[in-house]
Amino acid sequence: VSTTFIPLLGIEPNELGFRYEIEIASGKLVEIDKVIKGCRLEIEGHVFDIDLIPFGHGSFDVIIGMDWLSNHKDEIICHEKVVRILLLDGKVLRVLGERPKEKARLLMSAKTSDKKQEEIVVVRDFLEVLLDNLSGLPPVQEIEFQIDLILGATPVAKSPYQLAPSELKVLSGQLKELQDKGFIRPSSLPWGAPVLFVKKKDGSFRMCIDCRELNKLTVKNRYSHPKIDDLFD
């Protein structure tokens, strides 16, 4: 329910005792901590009980949520713009949506703004692992990672690919950034793989490392795939 409509109800909101967020149609997250209980909703002469949640200003006074529709086993028929409400006596109340007097002659498309990372529920719940920038390598684990090589493998190092001046500039910047963060370090090992760049949709470059020759010398781990029937109790 819109907060501007609450004074007309004559019922004071009650504290929920906790807070949670809901996502409205625009994609915006709204914090909820109150509820208005004991309200009556009249539709086509039929009266229903409903609890309303204040969530700010809007173009509608009251929006009936999915919880209420589900509890009443209502059906939404989109192509007919009809809501079928099952009444206590078993009868069905059909509620027709507003229909335009004439066909619309104008079409308008509006692009919603992209969500910020911190607005995504999963990211917000695990901010300690889903960071924008990592400050360094993860802590040393009990099990040390290693790549096994086939018998008789000798070091391989392919010559670097020829890069354009713009790509060389990006390569220099990315190597410096990775080294400053501690992700990479100078090495004198005889192993080496060339770097190439792939252009992204926004015009920037994605750095790729061609490890195909190195992969030919590694021992491939193979695991049997269980039958799907064995995964069910």
Amino acid type, 192: G
Domain residue ranges of the chain, discontinuous segments joined by +: 1-63, 73-99, 135-233
User: Which pLDDT belongs to residue 168?
Assistant: 93
Task: Write the DSSP assignment of 62-118 as a string of letters.
Answer: ----HHHHHHTT-EEEGGGTEEEEE-TTS-EEEEEPP--SS--------PPPPPPGG
**Whole-angstrom Cα distance, residue 68 to residue 74?**
9
Report which of residues 56 and 66 the model is more confident about.
66
pTM, two decimals, is 0.41
Report which of residues 29 and 165 the model is more confident about.
165
User: Which pLDDT belongs to residue 108?
Assistant: 56
**Whole-angstrom Cα distance, residue 227 to residue 233?**
13
pLDDT confidence tier of residue 3, bands split at 50, 70 and 90: confident
Strands 195-199, 92-96: pairing is: unpaired
Query: What architecture does CATH give domain 135-233?
Result: Roll (3.10)
**Over 70: is that where the pLDDT of 171 sits?**
yes
Q: pLDDT tens across 87-135, in order?
A: 888 788 888 876 665 555 555 555 556 666 666 777 777 777 776 677 6
Task: Write the DSSP assignment of 153-193 as a string of letters.
Answer: ----BPPPPP--HHHHHHHHHHHHHHHHHTS------S-B-
| CA angle (141, 143, 144) in 5-degree steps | 90
Query: Contacts from 183-190 at CB under 8 Å and sequence distance 24+?
Result: 183/134, 183/136, 183/137, 189/155, 190/155, 190/157
Q: Are 93 and 44 in contact (CB under 8 A)?
A: yes
**Over 80: is that where the pLDDT of 186 sits?**
yes
User: Which pLDDT belongs to residue 152?
Assistant: 92
User: Which pLDDT belongs to residue 209?
Assistant: 93
User: Which pLDDT belongs to residue 181?
Assistant: 85
User: Which pLDDT belongs to residue 145?
Assistant: 81
Amino acid type, 59: S
User: Which pLDDT belongs to residue 115?
Assistant: 60
Find the mean pLDDT for residues 70-75.
83
Q: Which of 228, 183, 232 is nearest to 209 (CA)?
A: 183
The three-class DSSP label of residue 37 is strand
